[in-house]
Amino acid sequence: MAVLAAVIMVTAGGCSSGSGHRGPLSAGDEAGSACGSGDGESVFTFGLDWLTNESDSPVTVTGVELIDAENIELVEAVFLPPPSDAPPRALIGLVDGYPPREYTEHSDGGAYWELREAVGEATVEGRESVNLLMGLRADGAASMEGAVVSYEYKGDSYHVETMNGFRVRKQCGGDD
């Protein structure tokens, strides 16, 4: 069973690109790194990124791919709105296992988890923010530097890169 470690956030510039001009979906302006403790195969929920549609029209998310993935694979990517009982822009963060038991089995009986939209079916409405949740499976020491989210907006294709990385180590917080 994996034990989670600290998440460190630092300020950096955002990135969104498409066919020659910036698209409306943004991944914020903070970059960070998280570490999860694991030995052998480990599974995590990684939900450290908000995506915001800065336009008045919807965007359709068509794919998510990991950036510089080493010994780690994407199990599933979904989007969830902010929890109704949490402060605005509250992230799910880093959780052992996928799907995250806290959101699938606890107080609301899984009603919040039922609000998720799978990549390929997900629409981010105008002026809406969603939490990108990725189920990740690691094999021993592993890492990824973020994710590329592909989407369509008014007939054009775009992508935005998230800026939060993740690594899995036997023990987090020390020298690797």
10 Å Cβ neighbour count for 20?
A: 6
10 Å Cβ neighbour count for 52?
A: 17
Q: Mean pLDDT over residues 58-65, rounded?
A: 97
10 Å Cβ neighbour count for 16?
A: 19
Predicted confidence (pLDDT) at residue 38 exceeds the cutoff of 70: yes
CA 107 to the chain's CA centroid: 23
Report which DSSP code applies to 109: T
pLDDT higher for 49 or 88? Answer: 49
Beta bridge partners of 113: none
- Helix (H, G, I), strand (E, B), or coil: what is residue 103? helix
Q: Which of 10, 166, 11, 8 lies closest to 95, judged by CA?
A: 166
Give the per-residue pLDDT at 150: 97
Give the per-residue pLDDT at 88: 60
Predicted confidence (pLDDT) at residue 18 exceeds the cutoff of 80: no
- CA 94/CA 16 separation, integer angstroms: 24
Predicted confidence (pLDDT) at residue 51 exceeds the cutoff of 50: yes
Query: Quick one: pLDDT band at residue 89, thresholds 50, 70, 90?
Result: low
- Helix (H, G, I), strand (E, B), or coil: what is residue 94? strand
Predicted confidence (pLDDT) at residue 144 exceeds the cutoff of 60: yes
Predicted confidence (pLDDT) at residue 127 exceeds the cutoff of 80: yes
Give the per-residue pLDDT at 106: 65
The model carries a pTM of 0.84
